[in-house]
Structure 1
């Protein structure tokens, strides 16, 4: 069965006249008749009743017609979307977590701009609460963060699971360990993200479940500041493993009992249709994120 068979079928079903239907799809009447016969042979049932004076749909044809119309509409809208995505233009507004904005988002934006040079991109680092507020207010188009727990008007599409690990100086007593149990952080000096961040809440939940209370000496709201504090104070911190840059002198050690993780994904407002810009960027971001996970 080929696409033209379906288009010819719909034309004849709408016109119920071979001459008029053939003119509509720009073929000769014998060609149309032959193509319809091919379709019926493939389905092994008649779709039309033919007499000398009239053409009408059979019961099978009546059942088949609405499904074919629906399929052709879906295909045509998809084709139009692909054509539109090849010449995208406009303004794409993105909010992202700090970790993803270190490498994955900038890499994605660079590749995206190479493919769509007429698109202007704005990137903001926001807390999860501010992201959902901005999506509701139509101040951003999409967000890259962790799944909201109390935002039922949002659509969350998972990208990857991020492991949260211990960041510490190379000469720290725990730096050569293959793994560190959460309970071993009890009473230790640590620097941490501010409590207004969802990541800090995930870390605190893991610490509480292990019965661990570290001595948090400094809190900061930015990853670069935290990493600098680790270097300056010698106190460890806990962040996504993606926060480690290739030139960093710091070491990372996985945590266990429990092993803290978070699921990062794309967040969209459920109140409006997704634009071709958002769809194209989301697909590219997924590809870039997978490549980082593999390394």
Structure 2
């Protein structure tokens, strides 16, 4: 097994398209297919399911990638380190994210990256999902932590985990002592929510409609941290992702049901984009943080 085999495998695993992977690697598709076959023969197991219209990784492929990606990251970083110390590595990573991830997870990931690369600059933009997609397509963002872009998108989406949204109230709220709350019980409850341009708000509106509930939305804030503070200082209720808020002495975080609002966060980036080693390392930091949050 040679390093090039692993790089070829990584390119196909990332794009799930032999044609695009070959273009990225600047080799022919037939050469790439032959090299992948060599790797599969050596390992004694198929890594990709080529049946149907879409290439998919097999279970063996998933296992290999989960162990191989960090190793390739370290190899790339080691090669880069030979050209200069970590502090000499410069550049700017432009990350887009929605409010819930910018409360805890994204700052944690940025801190981890900057501890390794003090010369790197990170520009984080907190945006609605639609704005994130536009800025990725226009080349104004390198990477985003958000939600699936929908069918037919020219963006790649890598799911990270599934998360529930939960009811958040102050300790004096009438629902504060409940272990679970049905969506129907939020009818006429005074609430603070994200504005309607956010996908999370659209998800919640669909859940309210399924439960035939109409909350009284008296405040709309486009950032999660102010929402949490407003809930803390009033008797308003809010619905916030469980990864963005922790249960404290003055707040209660309560599961919702019938239906339970569930989202699938992930990483987004333009198809065919070239990822420098530092950006790949940052993506791996996000994967590890997501694994902790899941």
| Residue aligning to 1:212 | 213
The CA deviation at 1:156 is 0.5
Q: Please state whether the residue corresponding to 2:114 is helix, strand or coil.
A: helix
1:70 to 1:114, Cα distance in 2 relative to 1, 3 A: farther
Structure 2: gaps spanning 5 or more residues: 3-33, 40-67
Alignment partners' CA distance in 1, 2:178 and 2:275? 46
The CA deviation at 1:292 is 3.3
Alignment partners' CA distance in 2, 1:119 and 1:282? 15
| Residue aligning to 2:167 | 166
The CA deviation at 1:83 is 3.5
The 8 Å contact of residues 85 and 280 in structure 1, kept in 2 or not, is answered as: no
1:148-197 deviation digits (Å, cap 9, x = unpaired): 22561010001121210001111212111110011111122222111111
Structural mapping, 1:74-153, within 5 Å? 81-84=76-79, 86=81, 88-149=89-150, 152-153=153-154
The 8 Å contact of residues 164 and 261 in structure 1, kept in 2 or not, is answered as: yes
| Residue aligning to 2:232 | 231
The CA deviation at 1:67 is 4.2
Alignment partners' CA distance in 1, 2:272 and 2:176? 48
Alignment partners' CA distance in 1, 2:179 and 2:271? 43
Alignment partners' CA distance in 2, 1:223 and 1:68? 45
1:242-272 deviation digits (Å, cap 9, x = unpaired): 2214656211110000000111110011142
Structure 1: gaps spanning 5 or more residues: 4-65
TM-score w.r.t. structure 2 length? 0.70
| Residue aligning to 1:184 | 185
Aligned residues: 228
The CA deviation at 1:286 is 1.0
The CA deviation at 1:282 is 0.8
Alignment partners' CA distance in 2, 1:162 and 1:85? 36
TM-score w.r.t. structure 1 length? 0.69
1:50-84 deviation digits (Å, cap 9, x = unpaired): xxxxxxxxxxxxxxxx649976xxx9xx5963544
Q: Which has the larger radius of gyration?
A: 1
